[in-house]
Amino acid sequence: MTAEERDPGLQPERTRLAWRRTTLSCTVAAVLAVRQTLHAGATSAGVVALSLSALAWLGFLLVANRRVQRMGGARPEPMGMGAAITAAACTVALAVFAAAMLF
């Protein structure tokens, strides 16, 4: 069987679902950041961390949305290095900003 005849099966669907689950997890982290800021009192550091968290969430949302849309074909193109680095950086940034909000 050649690469042109390859049947991807459910792999693109599983990948699409994984991106959606990760996007949901990032959304929950962003919502919890809003909740933490509102309940802890809006300090200047909290507002800055919340703003940076929102920016990281939007960046991840953009990358994930583009990737999910490109997974529509039977042979989706590989993810670019820039998109992969952006997704990883946004995920790490969300975790760092969330930890900063706790202190």
Confidence of residue 48 (pLDDT cuts 50, 70, 90): confident
Percent with pLDDT over 70 in the chain: 89
pTM above 0.85, yes or no: no
71 Cβ contact list (under 8 Å, min separation 6):
12, 15, 16, 19
Cβ contact 21:69 at 8 Å:
no
Residue 37's nearest CA partner among 47, 26, 28 is 47
* pLDDT at site 3: 53
**29 or 6, which is more confident:** 29
Confidence of residue 36 (pLDDT cuts 50, 70, 90): confident
* pLDDT at site 62: 93
83 Cβ contact list (under 8 Å, min separation 6):
63, 66, 67
Confidence of residue 40 (pLDDT cuts 50, 70, 90): confident
Question: In the structure encoding, which two tokens stand for residue 29, read together?
Answer: 């982290």
